[in-house]
């Protein structure tokens, strides 16, 4: 399922793109604009702003300037957090081009990530609404906390599943949740429906991160642009690994090749996909009764469709595409 194949979403995303470009290029300092624009234009699936647009449309709200700006702010926060993430990981490539830290050094990358996050906050406050700005500010806090929890647990063989879940809820699912919530606010949805959309977005975000973690272990070698077991190498013991460790307490003993040799690829794929399918059922049943049944059906099917796509990727490497 591809949200971007829905004409109203494709049209909205073109406007979102213009707004992100304008915001990313709005510094008084040309060097900041150049760096921010490079990150923004390097690509990315634009899944989060597509979710914002889909949610607004599902509530019968046309994507007006506020909705478009809210969607652009969500993507700008995502992009800024990726700049910080690359910095923390010492990553040299993202979206097929050198990372800012590799190109400009640690300090400049740090403040350009800060600029993107702060610029999104300012735009949300001045061009959307105070409630949307509050949601995005609270989400940025959660992103930092989620990432902190992951950092605090690096190489911790006693890491619990609860701790991993809490971390990914903050570092990834919170922004998916916000992508949906800001649209529900713009559409003046009832509080109950906002909460339902938030639950949907959070579950979808968890699925998205858990499958990202699974692909790190189970995608065919060379298909992800990084070596198999990169997270393990970095000391991040992800939920799929921790669920496997529950059945095999010695799993994390020894070095990364030993751990990978102990992992039964078929078993971890099957277990993780089943776990995600349960979350996808929860996401679908959280959805409110919408005014636009077509978009509602797309939202309902989206998490399962993404799971199917990843299941296919674990079998065949060439299938990664925009959803």
Please tell me the distance from the alpha carbon of residue 43 to that of residue 142, in angstroms, as a whole number.
Answer: 25
Q: What is the CA 198 to chain-centroid distance, rounded?
A: 14
Can you tell me the distance from the alpha carbon of 8 to that of 295, in angstroms, rounded to the nearest whole number? 10
Report the residue from 15, 61, 66, 171 that binds ligand GRG according to the rule CB under 6 A: 171
Please count the residues of the chain.
323
Integer Cα distance of 286 and 250 in angstroms: 38
Give, as one character, the DSSP assignment of residue 220. P
Pick from 19, 140, 179, 298 the residue near ligand GRG by CB under 6 A: 140
3-state secondary structure of 15: helix
User: Residue 143, interface with ligand GRG (CB under 6 A)?
Assistant: yes
Binding mask 82-121 for ligand GRG (x = CB under 6 A): x-xx--x------x---------------------x----
CA distance 36 to 120: 12
- Residue 2 binds ligand GRG, judged by CB under 6 A: no
Binders of ligand GRG among residues 269 to 298 (CB under 6 A) are none
Helix (H/G/I), strand (E/B), else coil: 35: helix
3-state helix, strand and coil shares in percent for the chain, rounded to the nearest 5? 75, 0, 25
Which of 4, 10, 34, 45 touches ligand GRG by CB under 6 A? 45
Coil, strand or helix at 91: coil
| Residue among 212, 271, 292, 308 that touches ligand GRG (CB under 6 A) | 212
DSSP three-state, residue 93? strand
**Residue whose CB is nearest to ligand GRG in the complex, by number:** 44
Given the complex with ligand GRG, which of 143 and 287 has the nearer CB atom?
143
Nearer to ligand GRG, 88 or 154 (CB): 88
Number of residues counted as binding ligand GRG (CB under 6 A)? 19
Looking at beta carbons only, is 81 or 244 nearer to ligand GRG? 81
Contact between 3 and ligand GRG per CB under 6 A: no
8-state DSSP, 252:
T
**C-beta of 24 vs 288, nearer to ligand GRG:** 24
Contacts of 27 (CB under 8 A, 6+ apart): 33, 36, 115, 119
Report the residue number, 143 or 183, with the smaller CB distance to ligand GRG: 143
* Residue 44 is a binding residue for ligand GRG (CB under 6 A): yes
Rounded least distance, CB 84 to ligand GRG, Å: 4
The residues binding ligand GRG (CB under 6 A) are: 44-45, 47, 81-82, 84-85, 88, 95, 117, 140, 143-144, 147, 171-172, 208-209, 212
């Amino acid at each position: 399922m591809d949200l971007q194949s829905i004409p109203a979403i494709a049209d909205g995303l073109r406007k979102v793109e213009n707004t992100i470009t304008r915001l990313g290029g709005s510094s008084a300092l040309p060097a900041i604009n150049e760096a921010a624009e490079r990150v923004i234009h390097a690509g990315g699936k634009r899944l989060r702003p597509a979710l914002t647009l889909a949610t607004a449309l599902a509530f019968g709200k046309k994507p007006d300037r506020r909705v478009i700006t809210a969607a652009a702010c969500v993507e700008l926060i995502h992009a800024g957090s990726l700049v910080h993430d690359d910095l923390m990981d010492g990553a040299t490539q993202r979206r097929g081009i050198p990372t800012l830290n590799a190109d400009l050094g640690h300090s400049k990358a740090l403040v350009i990530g800060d600029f993107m996050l702060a610029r999104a906050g300012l735009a949300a406050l001045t061009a959307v609404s105070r409630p949307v700005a509050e949601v995005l500010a609270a989400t940025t806090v959660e992103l930092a906390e989620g990432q902190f929890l992951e950092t605090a647990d690096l190489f911790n063989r006693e890491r619990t599943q609860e701790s991993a879940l809490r971390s990914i809820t903050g570092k990834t699912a919170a922004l998916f949740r916000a992508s949906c919530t800001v649209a529900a606010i713009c559409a003046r949805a009832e509080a109950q429906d906002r909460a339902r959309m938030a639950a949907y977005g959070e579950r979808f975000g968890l699925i998205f991160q858990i499958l990202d973690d699974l692909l790190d272990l189970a995608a065919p070698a060379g298909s992800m642009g990084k070596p198999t077991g990169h997270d393990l190498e970095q000391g991040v013991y992800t939920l799929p690994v921790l669920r496997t460790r529950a059945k095999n307490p010695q799993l994390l003993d020894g070095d990364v090749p030993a751990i990978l040799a102990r992992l039964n690829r078929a078993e971890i794929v099957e277990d993780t996909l089943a776990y995600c399918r349960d979350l996808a059922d929860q996401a679908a049943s959280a959805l409110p009764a919408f005014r636009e049944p077509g978009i509602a059906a797309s939202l309902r099917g989206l998490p399962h469709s993404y799971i199917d796509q990843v299941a296919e990727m674990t079998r065949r490497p060439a299938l990664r595409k925009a959803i």
